[in-house]
Amino acid sequence: MFCSGFNNRVNNMINEMKEQRINFITRISKKRRWDFGDGNPFFDEVFNHFDKIEAKTLRIYKRKLKERKKNERNRILAHFNKFK
C-alpha cells in the first residue's frame, strides 16, 4: 500500500515537471514564431527524447537529456567511422 502511494507521488512529480517543460517550450516557440517542425531547436528534444527520460526535477531531466544526446552523437560517429 505504501509503495503504490509513493509511486503515484513520484509519477505526479515527473508529469508535473514534463508539463512545465512543454509549457516553456510552447511559450518560447510562440514568442520566437517557430513552428513545431524540424526547424524548431526543441523539436529533437520533444520528438525523440521527451518520453524516454524519467526525472523528478528539471536539473536531472536536463542532465539526462545531455547524456542521451551525447550518447546518440557518439553512436552516430562510431557508425560513420567504420567506413573510413
Task: Give the mean pLDDT of the chain.
Answer: 87
Which tens digits make up the pLDDT trace of 36-55? 888 999 998 999 888 899 88
**Alpha-carbon distance 18 to 78, whole Å?**
31
Which tens digits make up the pLDDT trace of 59-81? 999 999 999 999 999 999 998 88
Contact present, 22 and 46 (Cβ < 8 Å): yes
Phi then psi for residue 14, to 5 deg, are -65, -45
Query: What pLDDT band is residue 3 in, cutting at 50, 70 and 90?
Result: low
Name the DSSP letter for residue 7.
Answer: H
**Alpha-carbon distance 24 to 10, whole Å?**
21
The C-alpha cell at 26 is 510552447
Phi then psi for residue 54, to 5 deg, are -110, 115
Spell out the domain ranges in the chain. 2-81
Mean pLDDT score, 4-22: 83
Query: What's residue 1's pLDDT?
Result: 47
